Structure 1
Amino acid sequence: MRAKDAVGAYGERVAVRLLADQGLEVLARNWRCAVGEIDVVALDRDRDEVVFVEVKTRRSTAYGDPAEAVTAVKLARLRRLAGQWLAAHDAHPARVRIDVVAVLARTAGPAQVRHLKAVG
């Protein structure tokens, strides 16, 4: 596994743990279709809300905060992917939202994690 892939996989594990700790049920990880990939799909049963999560992980802020990598173009793709996932699973939740989990994987100590809700 390449170092970049290992960092990304670590960030996704951190994000899934965070989402579970917040009471969300993870429905899918790395779901793919012709349009692209969704990192995490989760369900908030209390709100009847499906949450589509983009996870961005970096080892430093040399190229900016991890969340800054989620551009308007990426959000538009995530909205299309969300529609594809809902159609493929015949899901009709009351609400849908797109979140970003930004993970800064430090060389020492715990990762710095930020959960940005309803970004797009």
Structure 2
Amino acid sequence: MAAHNELGKWGEETAVRYLKRKGLYIRHRDWHCGHKDIDIVATDEYGTQVIFVEVKTRSNTLFTEPELAVDREKIANLRSAANAYVKQFRINADLRFDIVTVVGTSDADVVVNHIENAF
């Protein structure tokens, strides 16, 4: 597997651990609807809110902040996938879209930033 794929996989694992520590329940990871995907689908501790999470992982921020990679096209694709998810699982809860950024190359130097209600 390419190094960037390994970094991305590690970033998603890190994000899942972080969200669980915050008390969220992970419903699905890497959920697909055609070519569109949702990195993490979580719920709050009461199940009253479904949270669609986009994870962006970078080894450093020399060129740009990772959350800036979530552009209009990515937001539109995520909303489309979330709509399909809601229909498929008959979700009747509040919805939220978050971004979790993971910067670093190991657990020793990682910085996690959770942007709630990102869009």
Q: Deviations over 1:17-45 (max 9, x none)?
A: 01101110000000011150100000113
- Matched AA of 1:119: A
Separation in 2 of the partners of 1:97 and 1:47?
Answer: 12
Separation in 2 of the partners of 1:108 and 1:15?
Answer: 11
CA spacing shift, 1:36–1:110, aligned 2, 3 Å: same
Aligned residue number for residue 74 of structure 1: 74
Question: SS of the residue aligned with 1:81?
Answer: helix
Aligned residue number for residue 112 of structure 2: 113
Which residues of structure 1 form unaligned runs of 5+? none
Q: Deviations over 1:46-104 (max 9, x none)?
A: 360000000000011133011111112211211111111111111111x1000000010
Kindly indicate whether residue 71 of structure 2 is the aligned counterpart of residue 61 of structure 1: no
| Length-normalised TM-score, structure 2 | 0.93
Equivalent residue pairs, number: 119
Say what the alpha-carbon RMSD is for the aligned residues. Answer: 1.5
| Length-normalised TM-score, structure 1 | 0.92
Separation in 2 of the partners of 1:91 and 1:59?
Answer: 35
